[in-house]
Structure 1
């Protein structure tokens, strides 16, 4: 797994106008290729009267799935520059659709490449990005009278508390950078006088 990746902070639309053509870039996070395809279909339906709905998406922290479509624009002038912009910005798990309403002035191949790639870049700047880093999931089990203080100590120490469950004991799920696992195990033993249970789980990504 990659140590980290970047994605769009939120779904949204950014509009720009070039030589009387309107370019609307719709961006969204997409956990799977199916999510990306569903988003593209939704935008195409919403803008069924548009001249073009070109799209690109990158799925996987290692960018394993990369697809793009020119949707009727000259080959390589829309989807590819959109995809290249996403990759240049190190974006992952993201889908972009640029909807064009033709304004009567032809832009030429170079103009189209700049327009479509630029629309994605401007949308990323407008909506913002965030970095997700790889964590090991760890489950801490502690008795009720220690749980409140331990949760406070975890947050004070900057640890990512992902979930808390109350039963006979309190189970706290935390995210740990791989390099911190041994240090955290020692810290936990000191903080709870050795009374807390500790179990390592799988890997996941979380906000940096």
Structure 2
């Protein structure tokens, strides 16, 4: 996949349905073992809760998918939680929804809605980034060419991540892999061949706001 969503920084969200508390804890994970350890940690933390339901997806193509109702009626908790992760296009993420029973039964439909909403609340409290495959591209040009490079990168929505001004100008940007050839062609033509591509390093990256994050 060229790009997909990941949880960069997990979070915790909470909803209340008919006096039952649902606490969703979200965490990025890279393996089934890591996900299982996280689930065990949440069960230990919330040992006094009625249920600690869980779901996780791992892999670029969600090769590993698991869910648990943890005592809730079959299909009312874990699978709806998993559906939210898949529906949001989230990868390499685990979520545990802890329920403190409030004394009122919610019914099958109510449970499905509550667990789904809880995961959505947990994701809303997390930092979700779009991870891409691309290239860290470094360019050297003269002072007459930098304005054109800035303009061309801006037209494509590409940010300059680093720059150095000496007797020449060196700038770096992150380019999605499918755009690399076109970006280089546009810059070469736009600067009349005065740009040297000094580095072309394959990377996996995302942006947290305007700050690049590498994986």
Flag whether TM exceeds 0.5 (same fold).
Answer: yes
Deviation at 1:81, TM superposition (A): 0.8
Cα distance in 2 between the residues matched to 1:197 and 1:4: 24
State the secondary structure of the residue aligned to 2:102. Answer: coil
State the secondary structure of the residue aligned to 2:181. Answer: helix
1:109–1:184 distance in 2 versus 1, CA, 3 Å = same
Cα distance in 1 between the residues matched to 2:29 and 2:50: 28
Cα distance in 1 between the residues matched to 2:35 and 2:120: 18
Question: In 2, are the aligned partners of 1:25 and 1:119 still within 8 Å (CA)?
Answer: yes
* TM superposition score normalised by structure 1: 0.73
Question: In 1, are the aligned partners of 2:135 and 2:177 still within 8 Å (CA)?
Answer: no
Deviation at 1:46, TM superposition (A): 1.8
Deviation at 1:94, TM superposition (A): 2.2
Indicate the larger mover: 86-95 or 179-188.
179-188
Q: Answer yes or no: is 1:88 the counterpart of 2:87.
A: yes
Show the 5 A alignment for 1:1-208. 2-8=1-7, 10-28=9-27, 30-33=28-31, 34-124=33-123, 126-127=124-125, 130=128, 132=130, 134-140=132-138, 142=140, 158-161=157-160, 174-189=173-188, 191=191, 194=194, 196-207=196-207
Backbone CA RMSD of aligned residues = 3.8
**What CA deviation, in whole Å up to 9, does each residue of 1:126-164 have, x standing for no partner?**
326645153322442659x99x99997797564345678
Structure 1: 5+ residue stretches without partners: none
1:68–1:15 distance in 2 versus 1, CA, 3 Å = same
State the secondary structure of the residue aligned to 2:91. Answer: coil
**What CA deviation, in whole Å up to 9, does each residue of 1:10-37 have, x standing for no partner?**
4221111122211111123x25124433
Cα distance in 2 between the residues matched to 1:40 and 1:163: 40
Q: What count of residue pairs does the alignment treat as equivalent? A: 205
Question: In 2, are the aligned partners of 1:136 and 1:200 still within 8 Å (CA)?
Answer: no
Question: In 2, are the aligned partners of 1:136 and 1:203 still within 8 Å (CA)?
Answer: yes
Structure 2: 5+ residue stretches without partners: 210-215
* TM superposition score normalised by structure 2: 0.71
Indicate the larger mover: 113-122 or 47-56.
113-122
Question: In 2, are the aligned partners of 1:27 and 1:95 still within 8 Å (CA)?
Answer: yes
